[in-house]
Amino acid sequence: MRSIGTTRGSSIADRAEVAQIGDLSALRIETIDIDEYRISRIAQGQGALVTVGALGERRDLRRRASSVILTPRVAPNGDRHYPIVIALEGGSADLRPGMSARIRFDEEASG
């Protein structure tokens, strides 16, 4: 259960959303800061060490880049960043959507 939008005894409108259910077994991380200088050294399937600060250093997770997006996203200031997705299946039961993570890619591939 991700959130509940009502309390016990409340009146609700027809077809109103009253709860959100999330699948915590299929979490993923999407990077937001891989620039054009680093993207050529990162490939799909490349290993990565994921550290979720809220869980402490003892909770480092070994994962792989599941997708590398080839089209950059352009920020309002004009900066271009290439999203990389890392799947977290089988991760810690303590992981939650919205937690921050630090990702260190294994020896970035030489494009």
Q: For the chain, which domains are there? A: 24-105 (2.40.30.170)
Identify the band that residue 5 occupies on the pLDDT scale cut at 50, 70 and 90: low
- Per-residue burial over 69-86, b if 16 or more Cβ lie within 10 Å, else e, is eeeeeeeeeeeebbbbeb
Q: What is the pLDDT of residues 77-104, one digit of tens each?
A: 999 999 999 988 766 678 888 888 889 9
Q: What is the pLDDT of residue 2?
A: 52
pTM for this model (two decimals): 0.69
Q: What is the pLDDT of residues 36-81, one digit of tens each?
A: 889 989 999 999 988 888 887 666 788 889 999 889 999 899 999 9
